[in-house]
Amino acid sequence: MGKTKKAMVTSLSELDFSKQYNYADYLTWQLGERIELIKGYIKKMAAPTPFHQEISGEFFNYFKNYFKSTKRQCKVFTAPFDVRLYNYSKSAITDKDIYTVVQPDLSIICDKSKIDSKGCLGAPDLIIEILSESNSKTDLRDKFQLYQENAVQEYWIVFPAEKAVQKFLLTDDKYQLEKIYVEDDLMSPTLFPDLVIDLVQVFEEI
């Protein structure tokens, strides 16, 4: 006898927000809304604003052009792009072993073995999250802890209203705030120090 195939879920109303789910469950969902799984629990994602999209696009272009011009073996992806994070102590990973699926605004990945047809399996090297009113608590607390636990080497939190960026670096398994950059600053990833990003251009409004 074959395994019974799970029914497809097409509405958030069919899901229990107090229940823990795994990636195998997630694959059976075809929802109109964007969601993430944080340690098994569903987090709804707000639709990005035009300014949010402009900021994301500017950062994407900087990284994309840099990797192309330097021939660096790294890739940059924008949301929606699934990043699956898992317990590194397990020797074998199945969809049922994964309880966290996030969609960072930008994911920079230099280990191409982590990239597959479903997205990224494992921690990106650098993640950029752009805050909105609805996701600020998730990004400032839940995702901060999550990315730290999973050894994302560099984490940027972008504050659109303030036109500022907090840059965190992983040191001895803990994030340390390297600097807060503001609109008229130039900033560079610590991982790619020769990439210079002009925040005036990034935060230029429509």
Distance (Å, rounded) from C-alpha 119 to C-alpha 103? 10
Give the separation between CA 65 and CA 115, rounded to whole angstroms. 20
What digits encode the pLDDT tens for the residues 8-64? 888 888 999 999 999 999 999 998 888 999 999 999 888 889 999 999 999 999 999
Confidence of residue 92 (pLDDT cuts 50, 70, 90): low
Q: Which long-range contacts link 196-204 to residues 24+ away (Cβ below 8 Å)? A: 197/59, 197/62, 199/163, 199/165, 201/58, 202/55, 202/58, 202/59, 202/62, 203/55, 203/160, 203/163, 204/54, 204/58
Residue 139 reports pLDDT greater than 90? no
Residue 154 tokens read as: 């560099």
| Average pLDDT along the chain | 91
* Mean of pLDDT values over 72-89: 90
Q: So what's the pLDDT on residue 112?
A: 95
* Amino acid making up residue 106: L
Burial (CB count within 10 angstroms: exposed 0-12, middle 13-18, buried 19+), residue 205: exposed
DSSP three-state, residue 168: strand
Helix (H, G, I), strand (E, B) or coil at 205: coil
Cβ neighbour number for residue 194 with a 10 Å cutoff: 8
DSSP state of 47: P
pLDDT for residue 4? 56
**Domain segments of the chain: what residues?**
50-202
**Architecture field, domain 50-202:** Alpha-Beta Complex (3.90)
Q: Say if CB 66 and CB 150 are below 8 A apart.
A: no
- End-to-end alpha carbon distance in the chain: 58
Q: Look at residue 80 in the predicted model and tell me its pLDDT.
A: 94
Average pLDDT over residues 180-203: 97
Residue 152's closest CA among 88, 58, 68, 63? Answer: 88
